[in-house]
Amino acid sequence: MPGGRNLHQISRIMALLNDLIHKAAAKKAIFLDLDNTLYSYEPCHQAGLKAAFQYYRRSVEGISWRNFLSRYHAARHVIHKMLRRQAASHSRLLYFQALLEARFGRTQCQHTLKLESIYWNAFLRRMKLFPWVRPFLRHCKGQGQKVLLVTNLTLDIQLRKIHRLGLNGLIDFLVTSEEAGLEKPHSAIFKLALRKAKCSSRKVLAVGDDPRSDRMPSADFFQV
């Protein structure tokens, strides 16, 4: 275990790892959610937003953080409503496009691209894998179990997250809602994951932070 953790934290991590390994025994495949399951989402999102705000204030117009946030949330709301249950409903590119269009009455190509790349670069820099993840995935590999990441977002950014977290060699398949066409908990994405894993749902342990979307019919579920 890396240094800097106290005994209480280490024993909590070990207990979680043991519970997971116990739950995963006799399963053929593990379906893991990505965001807020393998790392803590909120600090990364905040780092991304703050970096995007710095750029906006410097290069677009001098507004307050509060004003920027309210414009961001308004744009996000519009896109969410328009693209409900699709991967693109989370696209930061679409959010920033909508934010700028609402403000200036026309598309701002350069600023849209720049805000999106600044957001994700800051987000990725902040990401840190939860300590139970790597030992658990190594254990699954050792047991010959397939590991799939089943996640609601677009492929491009989820690939970048996996690369950043150093999980390339530890997962067998990535399944995104972009690829499946619909988001969890819709069955389309789980069906696609089952096809890739070549197994039935009874042989799957689904792991995630949100039972409403990560729980899969007829599969065991573990909430982290």
Query: In terms of C-beta distances under 8 Å and separation of at least 24 residues, what long-range contacts does 139-142 make, across chains too?
Result: 139/21, 139/24, 140/24, 140/30, 141/170
The rounded distance, in Å, linking the Cα atoms of 39 and 52 is: 21
Smallest gap, in angstroms, from Cβ of residue 210 to Mg ion? 5
Query: CB under 8 Å to 82, separation ≥6 — which residues?
Result: 89
What is the smallest separation between the CB atom of 106 and Mg ion, expressed in angstroms? 35
CB of 126 to Mg ion, least distance (A): 16
Distance from the Cα of residue 124 to its chain's centroid = 11
**Contact (CB, 8 A) for 173 and 152:** no
Select from 149, 160, 145 the least CA-distant residue to 92. 160
Q: Shortest Cβ distance from residue 98 to Mg ion (Å)? A: 24
CB closer to Mg ion out of 115 and 153: 153
Q: In angstroms, what is the minimal distance from the CB of 39 to Mg ion?
A: 10
Which spans of this chain sit near Mg ion (rule: CB under 5 A)? 33, 35-37, 209
Helices (H), the chain: 7-24, 41-59, 65-82, 92-104, 109-126, 133-142, 155-165, 177-180, 187-197, 211-214
Q: Residue with the closest Cβ to Mg ion?
A: 36
Q: Which is nearer to Mg ion, 58 or 212 (CB)?
A: 212
Q: Which is nearer to Mg ion, 100 or 131 (CB)?
A: 131
Q: Kindly state the smallest distance separating residue 72's Cβ from Mg ion, in Å.
A: 20
Cβ proximity to Mg ion: between 35 and 178 the closer is 35
Instruction: Return the number of the residue (106 or 212) whose C-beta is nearest Mg ion.
Output: 212
Tell me whether residue 179 or residue 209 sits nearer to Mg ion (CB atom): 209
Long-range CB contacts (within 8 A, 24+) of 185-191: 185/212, 185/213, 185/214, 185/215, 185/216, 186/85, 187/217, 189/150, 189/152, 190/31, 190/150, 190/216, 190/217
**Minimum distance of Mg ion from residue 45's CB (angstroms):** 12
Among residues 71 and 184, whose Cβ is nearest to Mg ion? Answer: 184
Q: Which residues pair with 222 in a beta bridge?
A: 207
